[in-house]
Amino acid sequence: MKTNRRRFLGHGSAVVLGAMPSLVSRAVMADEGTRSNRNGKILVVIQMSGGNDGINTIVPYADEGYAKHRKKLRLPTDRLLKINDSVGFHPSMRSAADLLEQGKLGIVQGVGYPNPSRSHDTSMAIWHSAQVGDEDVLRSHGWLGMAMDAARKKTDDPDMILVGDESQPLAIQSRRSTAVTLSSLTDLRLRQPAHAQPKPTSDQASEFSLAQFVDQTMQDAIATASALERNTEGGADGSAKYPTTRIGRRMQTISTMVKSGFQTPIYYAIQSGYDTHAAQLPSHSRLLREFSDATKAFLDDIEASGLSDQVCVMGFSEFGRRVAENNSEGTDHGTAGPVFLAGNRVRSGLTGTTPKLTDLVDGDLQMSTDFRNVYQEVTQAWLGISELQAAESPSSLKLFDA
């Protein structure tokens, strides 16, 4: 297959960002103090990979099944951050509790799908594509990619950016929208090519080779990096203290791009480690603290920049864990779990029915909310894309304030 400019742009990462003139111009505009149009909504997705134990995240401490099934993993009631008289946050989620108190955190309970799979790959593919079924179902595009295809926005900026060093998830793959990958802003700090070719004149355009295009791409990336760095230095107000964790750094990178004037509506970050089959208590506590602290730091930063009404953070995992703990002081693959939505415009508090730990299906929680209804709310009520219909029936969740 012949390599051309379009395929190069579609499969690149940091170089792609530098190659797009619009990104350079927006970075320069922000650097010069001229704000570009930011009326569009922004969604930041945090993928909690591995299968988060929702039972020890939003803890149903008043459910008699909790003490029955969690002999060693049960969290003491007096350490929980109470939400109401029946559930509370894991003690490490102080930042999430603060967001809830500020009216900026929504928690959708019991989210899953019919006939759940306990396979990481299959369940993640289902969540990514919004297509329920076994591993034989053909899933070539993701729910966010399809949403961007339906939006058909006229812009040269990427529709979706994965911030991290992982492979692009199915969720942001599409038919015609642009998704790029950026490990960090330092990826843009590229050295000038030793034999960089000048841009061709109009007479030479037909002879503009891929090698010359790559050289020019490198030069554009350097220009983008320089403008972004100046904008970051000039815009730092110290109001948000990001944790020095991987997810903390990734959220800070996303914030920098949002504040720099990028018109990208979808940002994606992955936090791994939730597959807690053994010795769950310390690792799960650390992961929830990192997720909670990074989310709040990001929203504090966005608030200080005057963009808080335009940004929403969504946290999800491919499945929950089994209700009963295993013999290794951990938990095995389960089914339903909570989804988090954070931001100024989310409907704060608990939504949906908290699954009962005494009413199980083969030892697992019963789903009370179909994840496709959550997606429908996010795409329609938040992103304003009414053409996409992922759920089997209309959502009545009302996850966002009007």
Name the residue with higher pLDDT: 221 or 37: 221
Average pLDDT over residues 210-215: 59
Over residues 286-306, the pLDDT tens digits come to: 999 999 999 999 999 999 999
Asked whether residue 34 is assigned to any structural domain, the reply reads no
Asked whether residue 396 is assigned to any structural domain, the reply reads no
User: Cβ(9)–Cβ(211) under 8 Å?
Assistant: no
List the domain range (segments joined by +) for residue 60.
41-195+241-382
DSSP string, 246-296: HHHHHHHHHHHHHHTT----EEEEEE-----SSSHHHHHHHHHHHHHHHHH
Question: Percent of the chain having pLDDT more than 70?
Answer: 73
pLDDT at 5: 40
pLDDT of 359 > 50? The answer is yes
- Binned at pLDDT 50, 70 and 90, residue 137 comes out as confident
Asked whether residue 207 is assigned to any structural domain, the reply reads no
Asked whether residue 388 is assigned to any structural domain, the reply reads no
Over residues 106-136, the pLDDT tens digits come to: 999 999 999 999 999 999 999 999 999 877 7
pLDDT of 231 > 80? The answer is no
Looking up residue 312, the CATH number of its domain turns out to be 3.40.720
Average pLDDT over residues 31-47: 67
User: Cβ(296)–Cβ(240) under 8 Å?
Assistant: no
Average pLDDT over residues 47-52: 99
Calculate the alpha carbon distances from 22 to 174, 208, 237, 377 in Å. Answer: 21, 20, 26, 30
Q: Quote the pTM value.
A: 0.84
- Binned at pLDDT 50, 70 and 90, residue 253 comes out as very high
Asked whether residue 310 is assigned to any structural domain, the reply reads yes
Structure tokens at 96: 């999430």
Asked whether residue 331 is assigned to any structural domain, the reply reads yes
pLDDT of 258 > 50? The answer is yes
Asked whether residue 275 is assigned to any structural domain, the reply reads yes
pLDDT at 79: 98
Specify the number of domains making up the chain: 1
